[in-house]
Structure 1
């Protein structure tokens, strides 16, 4: 349980349940240096009619809405994001936060998020904190999970808290993958391990809104 909490808190410093992502073509000092060091190679490729675009020439911007940070310290969130290697983290007038990073950093974050999801899945099953949960399966996009449980034990325990961990890390992955807030959907199916019956379906981030109500 402790490990899962750490995963969520570390992710929450820079991630959220919804985002608006766009790529901006922008030259940087690093990109200029890279271009200078590979001038001859680029010339050869261009002379052949092909164009080789270095991913470092593009920045990725992700804006997380103000609702995500309600009750939190946004200044700390911004500071921690910069410590994580984000080029810019700006607190906007409406309370939203915009992150700007290199394309390579964005790809790195996506890989880290995928790793966090896999670690959460493993820890939920193997930690012993949620004994009724037998297996957690997911698709490659991390927007659909099947959680196989001992139904009776699950329904008579607090193991349902584990679904929040899965729903949150799945939502973080969707957010940074550029899924629009209106289209974001992380579906968790609760499956009876004995019968294979899906007896409940939880959808994030809708589930968070229901909790607030």
Structure 2
């Protein structure tokens, strides 16, 4: 599970950087974000969010801000100073918690922008998979709104005799990341990928993440 968490962290920071580039061009926007952050102590948090001994990703959607708590295991080998300074450069406030985890605080508008960016990038990835010569067996990919279910339509025999199965990992990681940072509980989120034969319409395999990653560790 640590591998999953680390990969999700890298992807999160990438999207935070992309989202922050637009906000940094506006001084008034930055001032509004600071005001919203100062008001977060008076806001309500979701009572169902729990702390799993600092080893889970948690998202608290408050009245004016969103807090993303990342476990200490995702920051092994990194100094607190570097972590905090790096996030500050991207316009995100970070604090270290007593259990070693870190809480990233951002305005609701920034979180909404991040989720939109995530959705756009996942859709682009899906389109590339459907048209890329690297995945010759893949004919179509569909998904639901929260990216918890994907259906890959493939030429069955070509798929089985190729490395196109790696595409399912990309879909699984993308779906997990989207759900986590949209507030899904770590023990509840999952991504199911159904493999359907183009010729027969038969679903001949189903892969569920993160179970598939843990089985391979």
Q: TM-score, normalised by structure 1?
A: 0.70
- Residue 63 (structure 1) aligned to one of 69, 85, 95: 69
Rounded to whole Å, the distance in 1 between the matches of 2:98 and 2:193 is: 35
Match of 1:195 in 2: 200
Structure 1 alignment gaps of length 5 or more: 1-7, 26-57
Rounded to whole Å, the distance in 1 between the matches of 2:200 and 2:137 is: 15
Structure 1 residues 71 and 149, CA gap change in structure 2 (3 angstroms): farther
Partner SS for 1:101: strand
Asked whether 1:154 is paired with 2:163, we answer no
Q: TM-score, normalised by structure 2?
A: 0.69
Match of 1:13 in 2: 13
Structure 1 residues 172 and 122, CA gap change in structure 2 (3 angstroms): same
CA deviations over 1:87-123 (Å, ceiling 9, x no partner): x123445443321100000000010010111011011
Match of 2:23 in 1: none
Higher relative contact order (CA 8 A, sep 6+): 1
Partner SS for 2:67: strand
Rounded to whole Å, the distance in 1 between the matches of 2:186 and 2:65 is: 21
Instruction: Give matches, 1:162-177, under 5 Å.
Output: 162-177=167-182
User: Shift in Å at residue 126 of structure 1?
Assistant: 1.3
> Over aligned residue pairs, what C-alpha RMSD do you find?
2.5
Partner SS for 1:183: coil
Structure 1 residues 195 and 83, CA gap change in structure 2 (3 angstroms): farther
Instruction: Give matches, 1:1-213, under 5 Å.
Output: 11-13=11-13, 19-25=57-63, 58-67=64-73, 69=74, 73=78, 79-86=85-92, 88-212=93-217
Rounded to whole Å, the distance in 2 between the matches of 1:140 and 1:92 is: 33
Structure 1 residues 193 and 21, CA gap change in structure 2 (3 angstroms): same
Matched pairs, number: 169
Give the number of the structure whose alpha-carbon radius of gyration is greater: 1
Structure 2 alignment gaps of length 5 or more: 1-7, 16-55
Structure 1 residues 73 and 93, CA gap change in structure 2 (3 angstroms): same
- Are 1:14 and 1:80, in contact at CA under 8 Å, matched by a contact in 2? no
Between 194-203 and 74-83, the greater mean CA deviation after superposition = 74-83
